[in-house]
Amino acid sequence: MALVGSGSAVPAVSLSNQRLSERVDTNDEWIRTRTGIAARRVSAPDEPLTVLATRAAQAALDHAGWSPEDLDLILLATSSPDDLFGTAPRIQAALGARNAVAFDLTAACSGFLFALITAGQYLATGTMGRALVIGADQLSRWVDWDDRSTCVLFGDGAGAVAVQACPAAEGGLLGFRMRSDGSRNGCLTLAQSDTHRELLAGVSAQVGGFAPIRMNGQEVYKFAVREVPAILKELLEATGTPADQLDWLLLHQANQRILDAVAERFAIPQQRVLSNLASYGNTSAATIPLMLDEAVKDGRVQPGHLLASSGFGAGLSWGGALLRWSGPQA
């Protein structure tokens, strides 16, 4: 599987820490020192997930030089679909990708990496030739905007990567690892609301809906700084890749302190750690492709560059992938 194109899209509205402090008891210094976040994007009513994801997807197609009809597969990694029955088919229709099968994959902040690995398996079998992997989330829908422990963290966005089958020697997915631990699921949830209504005497049904995001921040932080270095160490050893051969560290953008801790563990200089957390916050499944597209388009990531990537979060789930960028520059 070769990674040959990237694209991204974010809402027009940027909500700064200072503006957010007009609603909740917080301030710019408190947020920055604990998270590294300075602002986040918030979707307007005319910017549903389908619109953002389609914009990112079209940009990736354009970057790869593909027609939508070239696609065999569209995978949408999201935890905030426009339709619980599936949003990927809407994107397929909006793109005009009439030959592609399209479906959603849910793994929260690990979602894009899990979807990229899944797409790689279809391409490796030879049953499909070209795929579009999209990570997109709008967690502004599900944040309690009066809870300062969570509302400061999350933002909206979308990113996409175009991938195609290729000879093994030219592959861009050089190795991967995936993990889940449902025993720690309660650390970060977007759970169904526990509301029921009586239909008939003795018969009740649950009312559809979800409660706001709930997170045990300390436990999630401890989980990330322990498990992410461990899975990347395992991956690098399995592929025989010394850390000093990496061009970039591309992690899920959750907290700057997590990025710094992982980089320190592998003695990777800060200038080789990709981070746009300050501008966008945690966009869940969108963070990795959004960051990758930014770094490709500004020239930091060049063809042939080697990237160690990790996604981690709700589930709890986490994974790592060793990637080589093959696509063109902007």
Backbone dihedral angles phi then psi of residue 11, each to the nearest 5 degrees = -60, 160
Residues 98-140: tens digit of each pLDDT: 999 999 999 999 999 999 999 999 999 999 999 999 999 999 9
Type of residue numbered 276:
N
Torsion angle, CA of 282/311/104/136, rounded to 10 degrees? 30
Question: What's the pLDDT score for residue 327?
Answer: 86
Distance CA 329, CA 47 (A): 28
Question: What's the pLDDT score for residue 315?
Answer: 92
Distance CA 105, CA 77 (A): 5
**Residue 22 Cα distances to 17, 34, 195, angstroms:** 9, 19, 32
Q: Is 77 exposed, middle or buried (0-12, 13-18, 19+ CB in 10 A)?
A: buried
Q: What is the domain partition of the chain in residue ranges? A: 2-170, 173-185+212-324
173-185+212-324 CATH, one of 3.40.47.10, 1.10.10.60, 3.40.50.620, 3.20.20.10: 3.40.47.10
Residues 207-265: tens digit of each pLDDT: 999 999 999 989 999 999 999 999 999 999 999 999 999 999 999 999 999 999 999 99
Average pLDDT over residues 26-52: 96
Among this protein's residues, is 63 annotated catalytic? no
pLDDT at 23 over 90: yes
Residues 282-309: tens digit of each pLDDT: 999 999 999 999 999 999 999 999 999 9
Fold: same for 2-170 and 173-185+212-324: yes
The fraction of the chain above a pLDDT of 90, given in percent, is 97
| 316: preceding bond cis by omega (within 30 degrees) | yes
> Contact, 112 vs 140, CB < 8 A?
no
Residues 153-195: tens digit of each pLDDT: 999 999 999 999 999 889 999 999 999 999 999 999 999 988 9
Bridge pairing between strands 203-206 and 130-138: unpaired
Distance CA 51, CA 36 (A): 28
Average pLDDT over residues 53-60: 98
Among this protein's residues, is 252 annotated catalytic? yes
> Contact, 164 vs 129, CB < 8 A?
yes
Which is the catalytic residue, given 63, 151, 187, 252?
252
Q: What average pLDDT does the chain have?
A: 96
pLDDT at 143 over 70: yes
Among this protein's residues, is 305 annotated catalytic? no
Which is the catalytic residue, given 109, 151, 187, 255?
109
CATH topology of domain 2-170: Peroxisomal Thiolase; Chain A, domain 1 (3.40.47)
Question: What's the pLDDT score for residue 159?
Answer: 98
Type of residue numbered 269:
P
pLDDT band at 328 (very low <50, low <70, confident <90, very high): confident
Question: What's the pLDDT score for residue 330?
Answer: 65
Distance CA 5, CA 133 (A): 10
